[in-house]
Amino acid sequence: MAHEHEPGEEHEAGPRHELSHWAKRAYAMRDILVEKGVVTENDIRQQAEFTESKTPANGARLVALSWTDPEFKARFMADPKKVCAEMGIDASTLNEFVILENTDKVRHMVVCTLCSCYPRPILGRPPDWYKSFNYRKRAVNDPRGVMREFGLDLPDDVEVRVHDSTADMRYLVIPARPAGTENLSVEELEKLVTRDSMIGVMDALPSVPE
């Protein structure tokens, strides 16, 4: 998300008097906490920058390497936080990180029915649909219907495993590697790995987008 100003900094983007009740209280609490020395403007800016630096590209790299290097995949699935650290992806704020691998016969889909748990230190902020009430309600009892809405009609003999992130575990799906991609480079493969494929509601793209 592009925002060129500091979070909460005065700027030209929209009249402040039209802000909602709670938006105004966000600025008010920020100012009070800064005045009291509980947090600094700098803390807030750095945190926002840290969050902005987390994007699905992190996950795409991990998935593409897992597709091309079985030894990497084995290590990644066994100790994902350690492998992230080696790759320069700071996942230290993540409690626990669990990798789920899709196959021809078994596929995984991740939800948090109680709130919006998501592997933010790897993928960044969750998409709006992931936080939506309709997804939280339907993912557990209608996963196939949800996937159909995302364009995926699964055969009956494929087993769907829904993971409800109710505790300290954060889940990431390795989607199946699309057929006919044997000659693609790791960099090209990364472009096939979408955010939604790592949540498990879609497949990886069949070919590199134009």
Catalytic residues: 112, 115-117
| Cα(139)–Cα(145) distance, integer angstroms | 9
Nearest distance from C-beta of residue 165 to another protein, angstroms: 7
Closer residue to another protein, CB minimum distance, 132 or 185: 132
Q: State the nearest-atom distance from the C-beta of 133 to another protein, in Å.
A: 6
Out of 65, 75, 101, 129, the only residue in the binding site for another protein (CB under 8 A) is 129
Query: In the structure encoding, which two tokens stand for residue 51, read together?
Result: 């969050």
Scan residues 158-197 and list those touching another protein (CB under 8 A): 159-169
C-alpha to C-alpha distances, 49 to 4, 5, 6, 42, 199, nearest whole angstrom: 11, 11, 9, 10, 23
What would the two tokens of residue 57 be?
Answer: 């590209």
Instruction: Note whether 155 binds another protein by CB under 8 A.
Output: no
Closest CB 98 distance from another protein, rounded Å: 8
The β-bridge relationship of strands 106-111 and 96-101 is: unpaired
Cα separation, 55 vs 53, in Å, equals 6
Query: In 3D, which of 61, 52, 128 has the Cα closest to residue 88?
Result: 61
Site track for another protein across 20-59, x = CB under 8 A: xxxxxxxxxxxxxx--x-xx---xxx-xx-xx--------
Query: Which residues between 79 and 98 bind another protein (CB under 8 A)?
Result: 93, 95-96
